[in-house]
Every structure is written in C-alpha cells, then in structure tokens.
Structure 1
Amino acid sequence: MLWKTFRWAFAVTAVGLVGGVLYDGWTALGIVAILAVLEVSLSFDNAVINAGILKKLNAFWQRIFLTVGILIAVFGMRLLFPVVIVSVSARLAPQDAVHLALTDKERYQELVTDAHPSIAAFGGMFLLMIFLDFILEDRETKWLGRVERPLARLGRIDMLSVCAALVVLLVTSTTFAAEAHQHGGHHADKAQTVLISGVAGLVTYLVVHGLSGFFEGRLAGEEDGEDANGRTGTALAGRAAFFTFLYLEVLDASFSFDGVIGAFAVTNDIVLMALGLGIGAMYVRSLTVYLVRKGTLDDYVYLEHGAHYAIGALAAVLLVSIRYEVNDIVTGLIGVSLIGAAFWSSVRLNRATAG
C-alpha cells in the first residue's frame, strides 16, 4: 500500500533533486530539499481536508487527482502562478515576467511582495469560507463541544457564513490593508485591492463549491431513484466528479499561497521553487490518497475537525499577513499542532470506546 501510493512521489523526488543539481549544482539540491519539506509541513492540513472530499470519488477520479491534478498543482501554482501575479501586478507581458524572474530576481521578488495583499485576501477569504461552513454546520460528531454546539445553532441562520466572511473582509480592508497603504508609499490603494480580491475569493468559493454540491445532490437523488428524467447515473457521476475535482484544485491553490510566498524566503529562483514545491505537492497528493485508502479519517474521527480549525487559523494568518509579516514556521506549527491535538483526541476516544 505504502509503495503503491507513494511511488510517484518517490519518482518525482528523484527527478526533482537530479534536476536541481543539473540546473545549479549541489547547492541547489539542498534548496530543493528544503522547499519540499516546507511545502509538506505547511500543507499537511491540506491533505486531511482533501482526503475528506476525495473519498467521495471513485478510483478513476482519484487517479486523475494524483496525475492530471498534480500537473496543475506543480505547473499551475508552483511555476506559472508566481509569473502570473508579477505579470498582472506589474502590467508586464508573461514572457517579460519570465525574463525578469530569470535575470533580475531581486526585482521579481519585490513585485511578488507587492502583489501579496491581493493574494492573501483571495486565499484568506476562500479558506475562511471553508472553515465557517464547517463550523456552522450541526454535525453528529463534535470535537470541541462547548464551542461547536452554540455555533451550530447559529448556523441555522441562512447565509450566516457569507455575512460573517464579508464582515471580516470589511474589517481587514479598513484596518490591516489601510495600515499597509500608509506604509506603502507609492503603491496602489491596498484597501481597494484587498476588498476586490477578497470578494473574488468568496465568489470563487460559492461558485465552485455550489456547483460541486449541486451535482453531488443530483447524483444522490438518482441513486435514491428520484430522477424523473430517465437520465443514467454515469453522466451525473461524471459531472459531479468533475466539479468536485475542480473544487479540490481551487482548494489546493488556496493552500498553496503561503507555500509559494514563503518559498521566496529560501530562494528567488523560480526553477528551484517549482522543483522543490512540486516535490512537496506530490507528497501531499500521495498522502491524501493514502488517507482515503487506509480509511484513516473513519478511524480517527476528529482529524477532519482539526484540519478545519487549521484552515481557519491559516485564513487568519493570510489576512493578518497583509499588514504584518508572519513567520512560516509559526504557520506550519499552528496547523500541525491543531491536527496533532485532534489526532490525540481521536486516539483517546478509540481507547475509551474499546475499553
């Protein structure tokens, strides 16, 4: 099971490390390895969340997630995304942004830093909506009952998660973003940028998650024999799986923001960034599939709760980072600590139940 699930990750690791050595010598090997560890440590909660969604898909779509999905994750988020944000923020042609990344790495990093508020606002709002929709739902299993019970009762109010997210966005844009603007000199109005990017993140979540939920609901209805149109389950299963896959990709992209930005603390070279973060992303994908196939989420019932609390913490970190610099070690430790606490609570519950 372990070899079968992680064999692609091992292969990508070997290719990535060799590629780093061929590209820039033995020093590059260490940089690529550090970036891979950084990505895994920051994205462990991503694997747990993805596993909860991926287990709804059949084996075919799980393979798509691990193959086509990883190409999107590596080339889309880890290689093209830094180029795109520089191209958009600096109003450069994509080829000019690539040339800048390879020839003037200091200027390239400066442009990425300037684009950070919009990235953080988009990713922060997307992740915040995931956390709010989870914590405001009345679930049979509760980890922190004193917190989750009253929030579940509040969750009966329609659109509460959207309203709460918009309030957070307004506060962020008028505090952190406004302060950032005061210290930003000639930069564009950060408050307006944060507000627009945050709304875009919220809308993206609502559209992608809504479509995924719609097709999942149609599929469930068909399985119960409720379809009156004579459609077969295959087409709807395909569409349901497709939008769930799309949701996973957007979710992965949101989780990737902190890793991509944090990578600039290690290197400005986009080739080494793509290699290191790509290796880490492959391990996260493989770990996701491993959790699904081993049924770990069913055995440790609080893991999903811990991961969602980690998502809420990451959303807060992204929004705070619009004004204040947050160390990546702190970000990683928060996620690992919350998931570790949830795991230990699950172990204690299993022991109590067995006894």
Structure 2
Amino acid sequence: MVLKTFGWSFAVTALGLVAAVLFGGWTAFGIVAILSILEISLSFDNAVVNAGILKKMNAFWQKIFLTIGILIAVFGMRLVFPVVIVAISAQLGPIEAVDLALSDKDRYQELVTDAHPAIAAFGGMFLLMIFLDFIFEDREIKWLTWLERPLAKLGKVDMLSVCIALIILLISAITFATNAHQHGGAHVDKSSTVLLSGIAGLITYMIVGGLSGYFEDKLEEEEEREHEEEEKAERSGKPRTAVAMAGKAAFFMFLYLEVLDASFSFDGVIGAFAITNDIVLMALGLGIGAMYVRSLTVYLVRQGTLDEYVYLEHGAHYAIGALALILLVTIQYEIHELITGSIGVILIGASFWSSVRRNKALAAAEGNADEKTEVSSGV
C-alpha cells in the first residue's frame, strides 16, 4: 500500500536529487533535500484538508488530482508562480522574467520579497475564510467543545465569516501594511496593495468555494435519490454501489483544491528564498515536497484515516487559521519558517492524540457495556 501510494514520490525524489547533483554538486543536493523537508512540514495540514475533500470524489478525479493536479502544483506554483510574481511586480515580459531568475538571482529575490505583501494578503484571506467557515459551522463532532460550541451558535449569523475576514484585512492594512517589509530591510506603505490583494483573495474564495458548494449540494440531492433506489435494490438482492462526486461537482471541487493548494504554497515559496534564490533548486526541492503532500493526501483517503482519527480535520483547520494570521503578520515582520511549520505540526499532533484518546475511551466504554450485558444475561 505504501509503495503503491508513494511510489511516484520516491521516484521523483531520486530523479530530483540526481538532477540537483548534476546541476550544482553536493551543495545543491543538500539544498534540495532541505527544501523538500521544508515543503512537507509546512504543507502537512494541506494534505489533511485535501483528504477531507478528495474522499468525496470518484476514482477518476482522484487520478486527475494526482496527475494534472501535480503538474499544476509543481510547475505552476513552484516554478511558474515565482516568475509571474517578478513579471508583474517589475513589469517585465515572461521571457525577461525567466532570464532575470536565471541570470540575476539576487535581483530576482529582491523583486519577490517586494511582492510579498500582495502575496501574503491574497493567500492569508483565502486561508482565513476556510478557517472561519469551518469553525462557524455546527458540526456533530467537536474537538475543542468549549470553543467550538459557542462559535457554532455565532455561525448562524449570515455573512459573519466575511465580515470578520474584512475586519481583519482592514486592521492588517492600517497596521502591518503601512510599514511593509521590503528587501534590504526597508519598509514602505503598501496599504492599497494589501487591501486590493486581500479582497481579491476573498472574492476568489467566494467564487470557487461557492461553485463547489453549489454542486456539492446538487450531489447530495442525487445521493438521496440514489440511496432510495439502492435500498430498493438491496431488498431485491442486488448489490449496493457507493456514490462518489463526479461531473461538474468534481470539476469545481478539483478547482477548489488547486486554489487551496496554491494558497498553502505561498509560504513555502517565499520561505524557500531564505535557503536559496536559485529558481532551479527551488523548483526541484519544493516539487519533491509537493509530490509527497499529494501522495499523503491519497494515503489518508485510502486508509480512511480521517474517519478513524476524527479530530485530525479540526487540527488541520486550526493550523490553517494560524497560517493565515502568520501570513498577514509577515507583511511587516519576518517570521522564521521553523515557527510556521512547528505550529501546524503541533496542532495536528494534538488533534491526532485527542483522536487516539477518544478511540480508546469509546473502546473501553463498549467493553464495559459488553461485560454488563453478559452479567445481566447470566453468562
């Protein structure tokens, strides 16, 4: 199971490390290995959230996620995206931007650093909306009950998530953005840039999330109808078939997954410049990490991990909320990637441990119930 799921990741790792050695020797090998670990640690929460969405999709769209999706993730976000940032911020053509990335790496890094406030605002708002919509939803299973129960009640207020997100964006624009960090230690006013980028992130979330939610609701209606037909089929002795998301519903959910992955990759791409400004090594290292995140997502789905460890999804969403706020803070202040990655790992680790304790408690309760039944029956 492990080899089948992670086989391509192992192969890409081997090819990527060999390419690094051929490109820049053993120093490049070490840089690519570090970048790979950085990407995996920063994106583990991404895998958990992706798994919660991917398990609703059928086998065809899961394959699309692993093939076309990985091309978008590796070449789009880890290679093309940094070049696009430079092209837009420096008002250069695509070819000139690529030439700059390969020939003048220091200037390329400076331009990406200067574009960071816009990137952080867009990605921060998109991720923040994911977190807010999650915690304001009334869920049957709650992890931090003392917090999630009152927030679920507040969530009944229409558009509360959007209002809170806009308030946080406004606060960020008039605090962090007025003294935004730029290359060389300089600070400039980026309030208007942060506001525009943040609103763009919010609009992107509402469009993509809204469309995926709409088609998901349509799918649920179809599931209800098919469930009735399956019950009839079961009564007649015919086998039941599970319904998985397909068609338009799966397409928009796939689109949602790609935008989500893009938002998660912002911190990894920006953080990579703390290690190297070589775009080739960056693409190799982050690409290897992205492959493992994809494979881990599929592994979680096929193993049913989210169904067994029910608080994992909660921990991942809290990690998303933390990452969103960190991205907004980094508009002005530099935060080490170790801190960003550690927060996500700690939150997911805590939710995993809580899930284990819950499972043990449920097993013990069932065991006690069985003992009582045996005693009462005189066994």
Aligned position for 1:325: 334
For 2:303, give the aligned amino acid. Answer: K
Gaps of 5+ in 1: 227-233
CA contact (8 A) 2:129 2:165 kept: yes
Shift in Å at residue 237 of structure 1? 2.7
Over residues 3-55 of structure 1, what are the superposed CA-to-partner deviations in whole Å (9 max), with x where a residue is unaligned?
Answer: 11000101111111111112122211111111000000000000000000000
After the TM superposition, which residues 1-355 of structure 1 pair with which residues of structure 2 at under 5 Å, given as runs? 1-180=1-180, 189-225=189-225, 237-355=246-364
TM-score (norm 2): 0.89
- Cα pair 1:181 1:191 within 8 Å, conserved: no
How far apart are the structure 1 equivalents of 2:166 and 2:209? 17
Q: Distance in 2 between matches of 1:184 and 1:283?
A: 34
Letter in 1 for 2:169: L
In structure 1, C-alpha distance between the alignment counterparts of 2:73 and 2:131, rounded to whole Å: 22
Q: Does the 8 Å CA contact 2:113/2:183 hold for their aligned counterparts? A: no
Partner of 2:375: none
Verify the 8 A CA contact 2:105 2:277 in the aligned structure 1.
Answer: yes
Contact 1:181 1:189 in 2 (8 A): no
Q: For 2:17 and 2:31, how far apart are their aligned partners in 1?
A: 9
Task: Give the TM-score taking structure 1 as reference length.
Answer: 0.95
Q: 1:9 to 1:181 in 2, by over 3 A?
A: closer
Q: Secondary structure at the match of 1:225?
A: helix
Q: Secondary structure at the match of 2:57?
A: coil
The answer (yes or no) to whether the contact 2:113–2:182 under 8 Å persists in 1 is no
> Computing the radius of gyration over CA atoms, which structure comes out larger, 1 or 2?
2
CA contact (8 A) 2:84 2:94 kept: yes
Poorly superposed stretches of 4+, deviation over 3 Å = 181-189
SS of structure 1 residue aligned to 2:113: helix
Show structure 2 runs of 5+ residues with no match: 227-242, 365-379
- Which residue type is aligned with residue 7 of structure 2? R
1:44 & 1:183 partners in 2: Cα distance?
A: 29
Structure 1 residue 189, shift from structure 2 partner: 4.3
Whole-angstrom CA distance in 2 between matches of 1:261 and 1:173: 20
| Secondary structure, counterpart of 2:225 in structure 1 | coil
Separation in structure 2 between the aligned mates of residue 313 and residue 15 of structure 1, nearest angstrom: 34
- 8 Å Cα contact 2:61-2:246 kept in structure 1: no
Counting aligned pairs with the same residue, the percent is: 76
- Provide closer, same or farther for how the CA distance between residues 182 and 257 of structure 1 changes in structure 2, counting only shifts above 3 A: closer
